Amino acid sequence: MKLAYQNFPNFGDQLNPLIWSQLLGDHLEIITTEETRPEKIISDISLLSIGSYLSNSLLQGFTSSNKAVIAGTGCGYGMMKNQFGFGLNFPYAKSKVSFKLPIASPQEQYTDSKRFYWVRGPLSAHVLGLPNKVAVADGAYLLRKIIPTSQSVEKKGVAFMPHISSAQLSPWQNICNSIGFTYIDPRESPIEIINKINLAEVLVTDALHGAIVSDALRTPWIPVKTLECILDFKWVDHCSSIGFNYQPIDLPSLWPASAIMKTQRSLPKKIIFGARTKISNWLISKEKVAKALLYAAYSQPYLSSDKVISSIDERLETLVNQIKFDIANHSFFEVESSSPLVNKAQK
């Protein structure tokens, strides 16, 4: 089986080989070339897990010879966009964000080309036409199986981790230094990021997998939003799976979305990022952003209950065991293979 993920220096993507190589070992082929976007490496049997990989084009690309094992990923990019100020409120998502639900072709849980073990949350299940029992939690919660959580760790201070797009645009390191926060760059090594999150008393973030790993490690987290282009859908999907409403705190952006788009259209690619960084220093006062970030850190943090996290642990344990069973018996796409374990996990 081949691990299909985007080999990009971004925390969520890089959790895939870190976690699954330890869970499945030699049964999994890790692709390390540049062609690791899921739609580019589909062949034989591909595992899709941590990330927002389920798009219409990807789902339509699987055939009886190019198959998918889906374990913890969700719908997202390539299927929908934020719809600010209007849209359809999903019944699970009683939050201040509003968006149109994406439209996808209804999916069966088992076919000769796809096997849905579980998806990130109820919105992804709803969009795909899957039963709600398939919505368990993001695949990044599997981190708890390979990195034991310890109550003896002394957690101190506030950490801030921006979305990858925001990290590329803004001088967050300087801003965090000015208010005594630990800055976590989503492009750092996943182990380094995990250690910083584990040592923090609270994490302020608009990086989805920063929040998910923080929850998994039992570090309280506060959702913020630094850019309008951050996809609300995937956040509501995750928060719904652990019993929360998604209520992010809007932070002033050092680089407004309209300016980003204008810059991308008008400048050569090789100087875009350099220009972004320099111009962002004067577009909006860094002092104003620092104060807003400091204020956000005093908000009520999120943390899933012990009951919820124990249920996730139990269900994921059962589902991973089922995947191992199906690998050993070459039974990924046989409905009968699911009966004892998957049915238990999806109750």
Quickly state the pLDDT bin for 78 (edges 50, 70, 90). Answer: low
What is the pLDDT, as a whole number, of residue 261?
44
**Which of the two residues, 134 and 334, has the higher pLDDT score?**
134
**Which of the two residues, 307 and 263, has the higher pLDDT score?**
307
339 pLDDT higher than 70? no
What is the pLDDT, as a whole number, of residue 141?
98
118 pLDDT higher than 70? yes
C-alpha dist (Å) from residue 214 to 173, 205, 209: 20, 10, 8
Cα gap 65→118, rounded to integer Å: 22
What is the pLDDT, as a whole number, of residue 6?
81
C-alpha dist (Å) from residue 292 to 97, 148, 225, 304, 339: 20, 34, 11, 25, 51
146 pLDDT higher than 50? yes
Quickly state the pLDDT bin for 255 (edges 50, 70, 90). Answer: low
266 pLDDT higher than 50? no
218 pLDDT higher than 70? yes
Q: Beta strands 44-48 and 202-205: pairing type? A: unpaired
What is the pLDDT, as a whole number, of residue 102?
55
91 pLDDT higher than 50? no
239 pLDDT higher than 90? yes
Tokens found for residue 132: 């709600």
What is the pLDDT, as a whole number, of residue 87?
33
Lowest average pLDDT, out of 21-25, 95-99, 135-139, 188-192, goes to 95-99
Average pLDDT (112-118) is: 88
pTM for the complete prediction? Answer: 0.84
**Which of the two residues, 219 and 256, has the higher pLDDT score?**
219
Contact 213, 231 (CB under 8 A): no
Average pLDDT of the chain is 80
Per-residue pLDDT tens digits for 11-69? 999 999 999 999 999 888 876 555 545 556 556 788 999 998 887 777 777 777 778 89
95 pLDDT higher than 50? no
216 pLDDT higher than 90? yes
Share of the chain above pLDDT 70, in %: 73
Cα gap 347→314, rounded to integer Å: 11
What is the pLDDT, as a whole number, of residue 15?
96
Average pLDDT (305-318) is: 97
What is the pLDDT, as a whole number, of residue 230?
85
Contact 185, 167 (CB under 8 A): yes
Average pLDDT (170-179) is: 93
What would the 3-class secondary structure string for 26-77 be? HHCEECCCCCCCHHHHCCEEEEECCCCCECHHHHHCCCCCEEEEEECCCECC
88 pLDDT higher than 50? no
